[in-house]
Amino acid sequence: MDPDPKLIQGCLNKDPKAQEAIYRLYAPIMYGVCLRYARNHMEAEDILQDGFIKVFMFLKDYRHEGSFGGWVHRTFINTAINYYRLKAKEQADLSLDNLEFTASVDENIIDTISTNELLGLIQELPEGYRMVFNLSIIEGYSHKEIASMLDIKESTSKSQLSRARGVLQNKILQLKSNRK
Amino acid sequence: MSGENKYIDKVLKQKFENFMPEPPESVWLKIKQKIGGQPGNPLSGNHIIMPVITGIALLMALIAILINIQSDRYLSFTRTHDSEPVFYASANIDDAVNIQYAYNTASQNSSNANQEKLNPYFNSSDKITEQESNKQTQNIKVRKPLVINPPGLAANIQELVEAPVLQSVTEENKVLVVTDPASDISQLATGFQMDKQNTGSGIHLAGNFNNASLAERPSSLQEAYNDYLNDHKPGWSFGLFFNPEMIFYNADGISQNKSYGVDLNAYYKFSDYFIQTGLGIKITNDWGNYHIDYNEYLGSYEHVYEVTFDSTNQGIIPTYHTYTLDVYDSINHLKITEAKARYTYFELPILFGYGKRLHKFSYYISGGPNISFLLDKKLEGITYPEEQVRIVNVDRKVPVRLNTNWQLLLRIGLGYNLNDNFSLMIEPTFKYYMKSEYDFSNQSSRPYSFGARVGIIYHLNK
């Protein structure tokens, strides 16, 4: 979904109307992305705000080598990664002892839970797990690529995804049992 | 990855495919507020910069004007008080000995009937009483003294008597100060048989002065005096410098970086002060990598976009209108390639300084704001995936630099004077960044840099 090139040019010329149009076009999609990477709505709004400011500030760097939507999406992922790095520093002492692997969840259960419920569970994941989970499962990056993006080892990315899956499955099962 | 996981992952991904919640309206209002001040203008990113720069520039201009006004006042003052020759010496030991002399008046008086009265000051055999001396002298505050400072210059009383005053002092430069910390003020007082007056800053000597015995003054003193006049004449100098620097950051990913620059500076010197500005070009590099998101090429097929039918004798024949459509996978792949970014800055310093020239050597200290504008950036080293791919996005993973930054700059200059016109300089430099070169959100303190400029200065008015 790429906008009219005139809108992009308008943003380059700092036209407020063009900037608002671009915002209105991409804000819902990117807010969805931000919510996945954030722990809550407040963090997601912060990332959304920072991401759009970067989009408008560095639009001149967009070289039309790919889709504009892809560039915006990537800008938001980078913003989320930077946000995560800051948070990771602040929460370096986060205890992961209570996180355990469990048996795999029945895939049919996932179908029965809503996107918002799933989002809530993802947001409850520890920072590192959530980042790797999003980048791998939702965005489709390989572990090598994720390792490079997050400045971690490939093996760390793999283990974090594995643990993220386990934790998420636990949470899904728990959600399901609470419903009964 | 097991098949079960693959299926779950697919389901999870699908859950978010059309997930587009509306963000609160307040987010756009905040964004609008933040981007409102950023359009194009490299200085508008920080509203404080322009007023600060303007303020500093105005302050410097004001100082320069005040100094010139003070100078003019002094000249006027001496003209109104030059009814008789004045000899003035101040024995503030830190500043050494000051002598002030009004040449024109002395010349006039030397031809009148008071000649005899004036002569004794240069003849140790003649005596003058303290009372008489007081009648004949005025202590005029030296506001803009001329300085001669060869070591040991004034140690010998006779040499001091022969100080290069009379014939060299011009209408505009009626004041001469000879400095020599080694001089003994008491000895001077005795030698000149002058008054002693205690003041807050030390002993002041005062007496009339006569040019009768100054015909044979040492040539070294004349040279020193000429040097002095040259050094204190207002005028322009121009410098060309090579400027290597090392900048230190306190932020994730970057700890230090090097830069090289060439500066062309202009100095306007008045008395011992100067204002310096100019232009500089600074080049620095960042290293990082590119992240190229792409989709792999899977193949192509002829896509039918229209079918037409023609009736012929053989019946209806369909015609298929097609074009070749490339097919790519829907998974994002990432290629990471090392990259180098070269940045060119234009630098504009506005400095105020103070300096001294000591024969072959000179030194000065200067400080003020230095503004840097990002002129150009060149990105090198990017290599795209060789196979046929569809580029989704290219993301530069090198630090983001801001279009403008400014620093407070402090320089200490040490110079070797090759001749009257040229000086070789070395200038240790310290910069404290008031605004960083980078768009750091995780910077705990402001960057700073150390450098050592080397170059040559041409003094225009010598």
**Could you give the number of structural domains in chain B?**
2
CATH of the domain at A157: 1.10.10.10
Question: Which amino acid, one-letter code, is at B389?
Answer: V
Q: Which helix (H) or strand (E) holds B346?
A: strand B333-349
A74/A26 same-domain check = yes
User: Which of A99, A125, A108 shows the shortest CA–CA distance to A36?
Assistant: A125
Q: What mean pLDDT is reported for chain B?
A: 66
Please write the tens of the pLDDT for every residue from B227-284: 555 666 778 899 999 999 999 887 656 778 899 999 999 999 887 889 999 999 999 9
CA distances from B378 to A66, B42, B184, B284, B285 (A): 20, 19, 66, 11, 9
B residues 17-46 near A, CB within 8 Å?
A: 19-24, 26-28, 30-32, 34-36, 38-40
A110 and B291 within 8 Å at the Cβ level: the answer is no
Q: How far apart are CA A137 and CA B9, in angstroms?
A: 6
> CATH code at B402?
2.40.160.20
Burial class (CB in 10 A: 0-12, 13-18, 19+), B222: middle
**Has residue A35 got a pLDDT over 80?**
yes
Residue A40 in contact with partner chain B when CB distance is under 8 A: no
Is the pLDDT confidence value at A64 over 50?
A: yes
Domain extent for B104: 81-232
Question: Are the C-beta atoms of residues B139 and B98 closer than 8 Å to each other?
Answer: no
Measured between CA atoms, how close is B446 to chain A, in angstroms?
18
Question: Is there a domain that residue A52 lies in?
Answer: yes
Same domain, B362 and B383: yes
Q: Quick one: B228 and B248 in the same domain?
A: no
Q: State mean pLDDT over B301-326.
A: 85
* CB-nearest partner of B31 from A49, A73, A144: A49
In this prediction, residue B215 has a pLDDT band, given cuts at 50, 70 and 90, of: very low
Same-domain pairing of B213 and B329: no
Predicted pLDDT at A48: 94
Among residues B252, B203, B212, B218, which one has the least CA distance to residue B89?
Answer: B203
Longest CA span, chain A: 57
Contact list in A for residue B35 (CB cut-off 8 A) is: 14, 19, 53, 56-57
Extended beta strands in B38-91, E state: 87-90
pLDDT higher for B330 or B425? B425
Range 49-68 of A in CB contact (< 8 A) with B: 49, 52-53, 56-58, 61, 63, 65-67
Q: What is the CATH number of the domain that holds A66?
A: 1.10.1740.10
Domain annotation covers residue A96: no
pLDDT at B86: 32
d(CA B81, CA A74): 80
Residue B87 burial by CB count (10 A; 0-12/13-18/19+): exposed, middle or buried? buried
Q: Is B215 on the interface with A (CB under 8 A)?
A: no
- Are B182 and B120 in contact by the 8 Å Cβ rule? The answer is no
pLDDT band at A63 (very low <50, low <70, confident <90, very high): confident
Cβ-based neighbour number of residue B447 at 10 Å: 24
Amino acid occupying residue A58: F
Number of H helices, E strands in chain A: 9, 0
Per the structure, the complete domain to which residue A159 belongs is given by 107-179
> What's the angle, vertex CA B455, arms to CA B450 and CA B459, rounded to 5?
130
pLDDT, one tens digit per residue, over B413-461 is 999 988 878 999 999 999 999 888 887 655 567 889 999 999 999 988 6
* Phi/psi of residue A121, nearest 5 degrees: -70, -40
Which helix (H) or strand (E) covers residue B371, if one does?
strand B361-380
**Residues shown for chain B:** 462
